[in-house]
Every structure is written in structure tokens, then in C-alpha cells.
Chain A
């Protein structure tokens, strides 16, 4: 317990910013001396699920030819079955709004069950090829299972797996490392189009689901994915040399920035807002660079260096204003 917290509360009381009653209430609560391990223990549960599933994954991968396949499959199936049994037994059934399990452990059981299902189907496909060469199908089915679990049990972690699965079906890897390395889009032009299509699809889904009030708290996750996918795809195409194609992507980026500007206000989500600004700023700078590309810079580079600080000061002032108005508008 920090003695300065009590001091601060007292100071608030002295300045008549809180009432005597409230002060009493707070001191009584503080004297309970609560030391909550809530976050820590939940984090441990999360960590244990991740350790266990990645352990199992590697185990299967390494021993794919040695242990009996049937044995592995049946053990996996049993574990999955047990997990799902407990989840279904304790769930309140599907609801459109946000629901929480009474026992926090179950949330992590859902996560474990869906990851294991993905592993199970992957293993099945590798060993027996039930889907033949329809690799897309082998991705789609774990994705569908994950979507089902995410919506039925109301689990955000599973939802992110489902979205990555959906992107993989399209041919994209949207894990953050890959998005940052962004080698997706250099190799394949058409991939950028499908990435943008996927982003638009996610946005449309959020519009639809908020219209029918279906798990509206999932919207932020969908939109975050959409923002990053669309923005990174268009920014990496801004440097494309193929005729005027980069102009199209400049328009796409501008449009998506405008949309996310609006939607971040609606959702009061500062993370969307900040990333939107960052992407728009990067895009704008690349745009400027491409416009100036044809001018011979050799003569004016001194002027350019000198004007850079002014440019940055200008952008800082602009961003401070943007953040301020955003904070004001979501507070209102």
C-alpha cells in the first residue's frame, strides 16, 4: 500500500472535491488491505494454455512418423472432447450480447480446445489428406470452427485466430510479424487486391453485425485487423513503379483513413485513431516524395534540410490538435 495514495485522497477531501461520505467509504475499502492476484492468475492460465498447445504441436510434428497415428489422433480427440464438454456444460448458450463464464478457467479451456482442434485438423490433413489437394478447405474448416467457438463462447482470443485463419484462406499471413515485415505484397501484386477485399469484407461485417446487434464488442477487433491490412497493403503499393497504379492505392488509403477517422470516433477507440493517423502520415509523406521525384533535387537540397524542422514542427502542432479534438469529442 502506497502511503501517498491516502495523502492524495485526503487532499481531495480538503479541497472539497470529494464528500466526507465518499472519503469514509474509500478508507474503509483501503483498510481491507486487498492484494488481488486476479490478473496474475489469469495470465498464468493463458500462459499455461499456450505452453501446452505449442508443446503438443511440436510433439506431434517431431514424432509424426514414429508414434502410431491413431494413438496421437485419439489422444488429441479425447483432450478436445474433454475441453469442449466442460465448456458446453457451463456455457449459457449463445447470446447476442457479451457473456462471461462464471469460472474464469473455462475461458482458457475454450482457447485450448480451439487451438487443439486446429492442430488436429492440420495433422489429419497432413497424414491422411481427407481434403485431397484442396488446401483451402483444410484452412477453412479450422477457421469456421474458431468462428463458431468465438461467437458461441464469446472469446476474443479465439476470434483473432479465426480472423488469421480467414486471411490465410485468402492467401495472406496477417500475423503481426508478417504484416510488419510485409513481404506479402512485394512478391505478389494480386495479393494486395485480395488483402484490400478482405479488409473491406471485415468492415462490412462490422456494419452488418452492429445493425443486428450481434456481439458488437467484437467490432473493434475486426476493425483493427481491417485497418492494418488495408493500410499496409496500400502503403506497400505506393512505392509500386507499375504505371500509375500507385495513384489508385493513394486514393484507397485516403478513403480508408477517412472511414477509420469516422469509425474511431464512434467506437471511442484511440488505438484505431492513432494507427489511422500514423498510416495516413506515412502515406502522405510517400505521396509527397513521389510527387517531388521528378524534380531535380540537387539544387535545392540545402533548402530542403533547413525546412525539415519547420515541417516536423508543423506536423507536431497538427497532431497535438488532432489528439486534443479527439479527446474532447469522445469525452462529450
Chain B
């Protein structure tokens, strides 16, 4: 039995400890937003946050997340209560087929947490493990930059108020 926190709720599973987290989340906990693309940590479609760090989960055994915080796209925001990145993604019509976008957004959210003011090179470095076969890279990058600027402006305004 392995226990961890999934989107804020304690969960436990009898799945084999070597089972990759992705399949436990999809097949056992029925959260389908995280995707399978390569099974080899090469495309990033399965990206989730483990204690706030973006990780590929298609090869990550659940034994490695015992007791840890796992956040999926479902835990980041919802249709009614979107994360600012999700709102910006919609406004810029970033997705085409959309299959990679959960992973893209999770990777971007982790980047902005650790680096609120990324350069284009920072974004390239953080996002280059996330493949978009439809080629939405231009919009993904500009949308991350715009959300970062929006955050910085918001924070500056808050500081001024304080």
C-alpha cells in the first residue's frame, strides 16, 4: 500500500510499487488530464508537480512519491476557477490538438513558481522537454512571458499598496 497526497487529498493504492505514477493517476484514480505520449520521459505530456517540481511521471514509480504532494492539471485549476496560465492559454488560443497542453501548462506553472521573471532562454530551457507535435511553441512562449509580466505587475502594485 502506497500513500500520497493527490491534488490536496490523501490517497492510497495497492498498485504494484513499480507502476509509473501516470498510470496510477489515470487508471486507478481516474484523472485523465495527464497524458501518455512516449513512456520514456521524452515528451512531457505526463508532467505533474511533485512537491511543486515539474516531473515526468510516465517512468516515475509510485514508490518514489510515497508521502509526497502530487498535483495534476486537475489540481492546478478548473473550468470555473482557472490558474492564470490557463486563462492566458485560452485567451491566446494556444492549444491545437491540445494533447500536450496539460504537460505544457504544468511545466510552465512550475517554471513561474521557481522563476517569476524568466527570460526567453529560461523558458526555452524549462520547456524544451515538452514536445508539441502541432507546433504551438510560438504561442506557448509568448503566453508564458505575458503571464510572467502580468504577475510582476500585480506584485508591484500590491507592494505599492502595502
Q: Do A and B come from one complex?
A: no
